[in-house]
Amino acid sequence: MVLIDNYIGGIFECKDYLSPSYISLNNPKYIEIDGIYYSSLLIVNYIREQKDLIFQNIIDTDENIYISIYYEKQDTYKVIKDLTYNIGNVGVDLEKIGKARQDYEIAAFTYNDAKYIRKELQINNEEMLYIYTYITTFSKDKKELDNKLNKIEGMLRSKGMQSKRAYFRQEQTFKANLPLMLNNKDIKEVTKRNILTNSIQATYPFLSSSIFDEKGIFIGTNIYNNSLIFIDKYDRSKYKNSNMCIFGTSGSGKSYFTKLMILRNSLFGLEQYVIDPDREYDNLAKKLDGSIIKIGPSSESYVNVFDIREESLEDDQKGYLSTKINKILGFFNLILGTINEEEKAILEEKIIKTYKDKGITFEDKSLYKKGKFKTADDMPILSDLYNELEGNMKLRLKPFVEGSLSYFNKHTNVKLNNKLIIADIYELGEENIKFGLFLFTELFWDRIKKDRNKQKSIYLDEIWQLIGVTSNKEVASFIYKIFKTIRKYGGSAVAITQDVSDLFSLENGTYGKSIINNSEIKAFFNLEEENIRILEKYLNISEKEKIEINSLRRGECVIFVGKDHVLAKIESAEYEKEIIGGEKN
């Protein structure tokens, strides 16, 4: 009974579901499969000398193609034997025919090539292979199919390759382009060309034309071939670190791109901390239910530079106060400018006394009260140090204690209990932004170190303020340390700036170079030639990429991801534009 039922119902296996309903081989110019026309090209010759990747423009094209390259290793002993025989015969022929014959130059080329190949095989341990290359494209329209073939043929000619259309051999070539390893002898004889192992690199087909990390977030599309770009910067198996640099002139699209990254990362529940000098991220924070901490004359949010936090020390590290003093000296260098060693010693002495008056010494246990770490209210503030100072240093500090910047002279009252926190320092003004940048960078850095099992990011907009000429070595070293060590805390540091020249203005660009070298991902939006020349000193930028960066339109960028370089167009959905607000800026 079972057998009868199977017979009546028929037998339909998995391969039947995958197989086309029909295949037509009636036309020698193409194969028709389920209403789609497939046509193939045979590459029959290559340029004699080629240093570039000859298939790069073909693989980067936005046309739908299949390409297969077959290599067959030859017996070196037999090849040398045959070459020696032919060299002898051609040498005799050259002597007989004389230079007057039209085919003399062709024979001479053959003779010299044979001698060169034999030399490479005998002396340089090269090996000889045969190479066969086939390309198939397809379309639902026959006229469009012909246009595609014309386009591909033109691209092949531009790289010095000659091709033939596989008329009457469409089936064999189509099969050769399937992952079946079927290289039929009918097409092998037409496409067979010899190649040495040293030249195989020019035929390398696996180009970095796109970046697709399985668990990555969507960045945009490759401008050359429309492939999608997904980057998972936290993939430790692939990337050395998760840090990122975003450079571009005003209006190039870098801020829009940064907001997109924040929006898309929020879907993964990442902790994100943004230092915002231009009040660009407030709307985004509101839409994502993030927290906005404003510091300035009209704000009631305060951050105290004297805070020592329990998480400020790294694993197995000791010395809360000594670690904090180095940071405070850097902060006061921002206020006082460069101070000499004597002034530095006096300032350090007064800082130590200021902490001592609050019961905090170099003994780490002094930071604990009744078994718990001391709170923000237990810390000294600027006025405590101010009362200890004299002369010029006290005078320079007066605006921060009694004047227009007295909001720095408060105990910390901000809460960091949100996954997205925006530090709005817009009200500080251009001259004082660096103080806010430092305060929040230190605050967020301690927060990042709290739990290394959580993925998090800190975005440092206008980072040149902290590592450029307006900063100092102590602060710049602190920022560099963040980029160097944040990986072990599951974190990512993102440097954003339009002032590339200022980024490399301190200590002959030492800190700017360190930030770039410790950023696995770099996104370059439109930049002026002057800034491109500066970057060229520190990065491996090709001539083509320099031209591209200088001529990028808004929303386009060149992305360096490790060794992969991709020209990308940043893409966003309509609902993302509504959340971010405004056009790409």
Under a CB-based contact definition with an 8 Å cutoff, are residues 193 and 53 in contact?
no
Burial of 464: CB neighbours in 10 Å, binned 0-12, 13-18, 19+: buried
Rounded to 5 degrees, what angle do the CA atoms 343, 346, 351 make?
120
pLDDT computed for residue 121 by the predictor: 83
| Cα-based torsion angle of the residue sequence 485, 488, 492, 496 in order, rounded to the nearest 10 degrees | 0
pLDDT computed for residue 100 by the predictor: 55
Under a CB-based contact definition with an 8 Å cutoff, are residues 246 and 494 in contact?
yes
What phi and psi values does residue 518 have, to the nearest 5 degrees?
-100, 20
Under a CB-based contact definition with an 8 Å cutoff, are residues 503 and 258 in contact?
no
Q: State the average pLDDT over residues 50-68.
A: 81
Burial of 416: CB neighbours in 10 Å, binned 0-12, 13-18, 19+: middle
pLDDT, tens digit, 9 for 90 and up, residues 470-487: 888 889 999 999 999 999
CATH code for the part of the protein at 242-301+414-585: 3.40.50.300
Pair of tokens at residue 260:
């997109």
pLDDT, tens digit, 9 for 90 and up, residues 172-225: 999 999 989 999 999 999 999 988 888 888 887 765 457 889 889 999 998 877
pLDDT computed for residue 582 by the predictor: 55
Q: What is the mean pLDDT of the chain?
A: 89
Residue 32: pLDDT over 90: yes
Under a CB-based contact definition with an 8 Å cutoff, are residues 438 and 475 in contact?
yes
Q: State the average pLDDT over residues 457-473.
A: 91
The architecture (CATH level 2) of 306-411 comes to Orthogonal Bundle (1.10)
Residue 584: pLDDT over 70: no
Per-domain residue ranges of the chain: 2-74+127-203, 242-301+414-585, 306-411
Residue 528: pLDDT over 50: yes
Residue 583: pLDDT over 50: no
Q: State the average pLDDT over residues 404-424.
A: 94
Q: State the average pLDDT over residues 380-388.
A: 96
Give residue 581's pLDDT band: very low, low, confident or very high (50, 70, 90).
confident
Of residues 364 and 95, the one with the higher pLDDT is: 364
Give the pTM: 0.72
pLDDT computed for residue 48 by the predictor: 75
pLDDT computed for residue 274 by the predictor: 97
pLDDT computed for residue 201 by the predictor: 81
**Percent over 70 (pLDDT), the chain:** 93
Spatial separation of the C-alpha atoms in residues 137 and 317, rounded to whole Å: 62
Give residue 1's pLDDT band: very low, low, confident or very high (50, 70, 90).
very low
pLDDT computed for residue 585 by the predictor: 42
Q: State the average pLDDT over residues 519-544.
A: 92
